[in-house]
């Protein structure tokens, strides 16, 4: 790397040299891909101090001025997709990233009408998917944006597949399909997902996209955080980036700035102010790089944020048998990956309390009304066979899809993770239910009664209590028996700056700012209340689709 004026430039040769050794760091430094107006939903009184004011940077501290056509803030999922799209258009592109290397690029990419889907005869009902998305969000979204994803995502995924076809040593892009004609239930699953099978010696999506951007003349500067946007009136002209210790750089962007800095899931002040209910569902966390930088920069301009503050949560955070989200430390984050499987789930009194066959965060929302705001997952020695029958989708799946697509994490890896959880005291194992209750810190009487009732429901293949689908019931009769406490694992925030169909931020009157576009988790107007995770990869698919749409707009192409 070449250090110049307090920033780190990465040449193509240097990137290729560090890609293999830095692959693990990519996942650590990036997150998986707020600021409301006064009095908006979820914001406690007097909590707006998280926003602050745009910093004043003395001209004497600005050590360098750069001119480019497109400035992209953030080198994670959104920023790298946007960079690949703009360099393809021949636009001079600079990406700045606050970390020392690119962030993680999400693997599951959702679309409607890709070549891979069509080749398998997987025909999705676009109208049904749009309507279902709107229902999940209680219509608190811009339905025109949902339609854009539905209309344009197939072509976007085809482009992504083309990168794999041109670079086969990277791996292969699969369509996660074949389940649309079997095992549908009360919560319908849509085979929208596409997921790469990476060559372990190659790297990841960050490697593939960064190589592509650099090969076409794009530049990525690391250790260069966005500080604030600069504008003339309502038109953004560029940004100031850098730090007080290393100095600042002014970047002038002739065609536009793209904000792709992610959400604010690692900013505890924002989370406590905007999503206190969500914050209380998980153990405390340490602040990190996904701190809402781009969101705040847009709000300092006068843009508006979604007034429904939403997160993507996984029901997979492992707790010790004596812990709750309120008492667990922030020094560890063990994952119980199969926590999303529809096993029998009990509250801390040892009572069943909801239909476990539901989207990931539904179990967490149900548990928020129970003692300790968490649940205990109960299963027996046949759990691998049960999981195969459960036929889950997306990242919770551990068996190949009916069409042969591999899962994100396969069975051998799951077994290894579970052994680690047992060694750490999180996953408890016993030969009898009485012993299991003691180890799991549950009432033996209540656990025995809950298991007996659940076995009876399984035998009659009808859940008369909560109406779980019959194929997702399971018997608990074969030792060893297992129990584990589970809380929320925080993936990302989904509320951001309100945008129009050109991804431009909007003010409180719905008027767009010029010279700036917001994509990925920094953008809003697309999700509300929950994430419809049964549309596998919709969040990443939206980010890819909107990144490519912005590139067309910046290139002067006509769009609807």
How many angstroms separate the CA atoms of 173 and 196, rounded?
4
**Three-state SS for 30?**
coil
> Alpha helices of 216-339 — where are they, by DSSP H?
268-274, 276-279, 293-301
- Top CATH class of 312-490 equals alpha beta
Contact indicator for 75, 259 with CB cutoff of 8 Å: no
Strand 62-73 relative to strand 375-379, pairing? unpaired
How many angstroms separate the CA atoms of 16 and 7, rounded?
19
- List b or e across 11-21, with b for residues whose CB sees 16 or more CB atoms inside 10 angstroms: eeeebeebbee
CATH architecture of 2-106+204-310+494-554: 3-Layer(bba) Sandwich (3.50)
DSSP assignment of 319-367: E-TT--TTTS-SS---B-GGGGS--EEE-TTS-B-S-SSS-HHHHHHHH
Measure CA of the first residue to CA of the last residue in the chain; give whole Å: 42
Q: In sequence order, which residues have a C-beta less than 8 Å from that of residue 327 and are 6 or more positions away? A: none
Q: In sequence order, which residues have a C-beta less than 8 Å from that of residue 39 and are 6 or more positions away? A: none
Strand 235-243 relative to strand 344-346, pairing? unpaired
Biggest CA–CA distance in the chain, Å, is: 77
Peptide bond into 536 cis (omega under 30): no
Neighbours of 547 (CB within 10 A): 27
How many angstroms separate the CA atoms of 432 and 417, rounded?
23
Residue 92 has a pLDDT of 98
**Three-state SS for 462?**
coil
560 residues of the chain, pLDDT tens digit each:
343 333 334 433 333 333 333 333 333 233 333 332 333 444 444 446 899 999 999 999 999 999 999 999 999 999 999 999 999 999 999 999 999 999 999 999 999 999 999 999 998 999 999 999 999 999 999 999 999 999 999 999 999 999 999 999 999 999 998 886 667 778 889 999 999 999 999 989 999 999 999 999 999 999 999 999 999 999 999 999 999 998 999 999 999 999 999 999 999 999 999 999 999 999 999 999 999 999 999 999 999 999 999 999 999 999 999 999 999 999 999 999 999 999 999 999 999 999 999 999 999 999 999 999 999 999 999 999 999 999 999 999 999 999 999 999 999 999 999 999 999 999 999 999 999 999 999 999 999 999 999 999 999 999 999 999 999 999 999 999 999 999 999 999 999 999 999 999 999 999 999 999 999 999 999 999 999 999 999 999 999 999 999 999 999 998 76
Token pair listed for 277 = 């209910």
How many angstroms separate the CA atoms of 58 and 281, rounded?
42
Domain residue ranges in the chain: 2-106+204-310+494-554, 312-490
Residue located via tokens 């409180």: 508
Task: Burial-class residue 195 by CB neighbours within 10 Å (0-12, 13-18, 19+).
Answer: buried
How many angstroms separate the CA atoms of 296 and 51, rounded?
6
> Alpha helices of 30-142 — where are they, by DSSP H?
77-88, 115-119, 126-136
Residue 530 pairs with which residues in a beta bridge?
Answer: 528
- How many residues are present in the chain? 560
- Report the run of H or E that residue 72 belongs to, with start and end: strand 62-73
Residue 364 has a pLDDT of 97
């Amino acid at each position: 790397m070449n250090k110049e004026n307090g920033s780190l430039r990465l040449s193509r040769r240097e990137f290729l040299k560090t890609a293999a050794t830095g692959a693990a760091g990519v996942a650590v430094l990036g997150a998986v891909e707020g600021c409301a107006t006064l009095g908006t939903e979820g914001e406690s009184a007097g909590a707006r101090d998280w926003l602050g004011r745009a910093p004043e940077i003395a001209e004497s501290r600005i050590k360098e001025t750069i001119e480019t056509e497109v400035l992209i803030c953030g080198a994670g999922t959104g920023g790298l997709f946007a960079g690949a799209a703009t360099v393809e258009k021949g636009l001079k592109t600079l990406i700045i990233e606050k970390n020392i290397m690119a962030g993680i690029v999400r693997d599951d990419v959702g679309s409607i009408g890709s070549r891979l889907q069509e080749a398998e005869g997987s025909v999705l009902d676009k109208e049904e998917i749009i309507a279902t998305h709107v229902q999940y969000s209680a219509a608190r979204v811009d339905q025109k944006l949902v339609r854009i994803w539905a209309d344009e995502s197939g072509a976007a995924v085809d482009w992504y597949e083309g990168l794999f076809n041109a670079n086969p040593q990277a791996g292969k892009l699969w369509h996660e399909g074949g389940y649309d004609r079997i095992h549908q239930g009360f919560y319908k699953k849509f085979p929208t997902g596409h997921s790469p099978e990476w060559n372990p010696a190659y790297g990841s999506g960050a490697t593939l996209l960064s190589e592509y951007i650099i090969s076409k003349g794009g530049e990525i500067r690391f250790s260069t955080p966005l500080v604030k946007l600069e504008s003339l009136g309502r038109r953004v002209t560029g940004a100031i980036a850098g730090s007080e210790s290393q100095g600042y750089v002014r970047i002038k962007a002739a065609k536009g700035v793209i904000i792709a800095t992610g959400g604010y899931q690692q900013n505890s002040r924002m989370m406590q102010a905007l999503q206190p209910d969500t914050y209380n569902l998980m153990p405390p966390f340490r602040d990190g790089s996904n701190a809402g930088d781009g969101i705040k920069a847009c709000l300092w301009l006068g843009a508006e944020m979604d007034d429904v503050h939403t997160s993507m949560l996984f029901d997979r955070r492992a707790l010790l048998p004596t812990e709750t989200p309120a008492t667990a430390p922030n020094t560890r984050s063990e994952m119980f990956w199969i926590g999303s499987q529809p096993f029998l789930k009990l509250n801390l009194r040892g009572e069943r309390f909801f239909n476990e066959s539901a989207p990931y965060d539904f179990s967490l929302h149900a548990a928020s009304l129970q003692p300790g705001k968490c649940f205990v997952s109960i299963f027996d020695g046949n759990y691998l066979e049960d999981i195969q029958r459960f036929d889950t989708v997306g990242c919770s799946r551990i068996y190949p899809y009916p069409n042969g697509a591999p899962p994100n994490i396969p069975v051998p890896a799951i077994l290894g993770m579970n052994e680690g959880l047992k060694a750490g005291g999180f996953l408890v194992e016993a030969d009898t239910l009485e012993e299991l209750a003691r180890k799991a810190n549950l009432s033996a009487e209540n656990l025995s009664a809950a298991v007996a009732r659940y076995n009876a429901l399984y035998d009659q293949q009808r859940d008369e209590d909560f109406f779980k689908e019959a194929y997702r019931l399971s018997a608990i009769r074969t030792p060893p028996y297992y129990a584990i406490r589970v809380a929320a694992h925080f993936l990302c925030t989904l509320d951001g700056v309100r945008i129009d169909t050109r991804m431009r931020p909007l003010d409180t009157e719905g008027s767009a700012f010029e010279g700036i576009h917001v994509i990925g988790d920094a953008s809003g107007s697309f999700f509300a209340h929950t994430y419809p995770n049964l549309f596998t990869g919709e969040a990443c698919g939206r980010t890819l689709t909107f990144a490519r749409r912005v590139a067309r707009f910046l290139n002067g192409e006509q769009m609807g």
